[in-house]
Structure 1
Amino acid sequence: MKTKSKNLMSLDQFIDQQYGEVGSAKRDEFELGYENFKIGSMLQEARIQKGMTQEQLAEKVGSTKSYISKIENNVKEARFSTLQKIVEIGLGGHLELSIKF
């Protein structure tokens, strides 16, 4: 019978260990980067589900393929108004914003 390794930890424990507790500067920077990555990934997934290329999406919203690629790959941050335009005009969706405490 195999025994559990004492080195195993949950993802939350790993993040706490690597980036500090919630509220620390290093952790805040990590979480902001993750949110930007998540936005790009969600846009890419939605675009693919709509059967669109980056070039088609860019043309629809008056942008460039390069700019869409940079957002999807977390190279460039987009303003909320730009994200709204991409989602609503380009993808025919609705962008929602929420604040959680």
Structure 2
Amino acid sequence: MDGTTQPAPEGFDALLAWIEAEIAAPDAAPLTLQRIAAHAGLSPYHFSRLFTARTGRSVMLHVRQRRLSAAARRLAGEPGLKLANLAFDSGFESQEAFTRAFR
């Protein structure tokens, strides 16, 4: 990202790819606004504003939706999977947080 008013398209695409890789990584550190913004080289506030302007949704809503999509695909492929395991594997703090987000 170049730090101007709008992220460069190639930089933004690379950042989205990094977010996807972090969501898919089983042992990655928690994906927080602070961590994503640091990866982009911006303050959390500035990054959040740019991301929302670019996508129409907050970065954490984007992360949650991508996690839920990945979890739904996995659940469809593994019907006997325990929800608690799926919740933790998908980056949620608890099964309760996962089911609330899934509604």
Q: TM-score, normalised by structure 1?
A: 0.28
Which of the pair has more CA radius of gyration?
A: 1
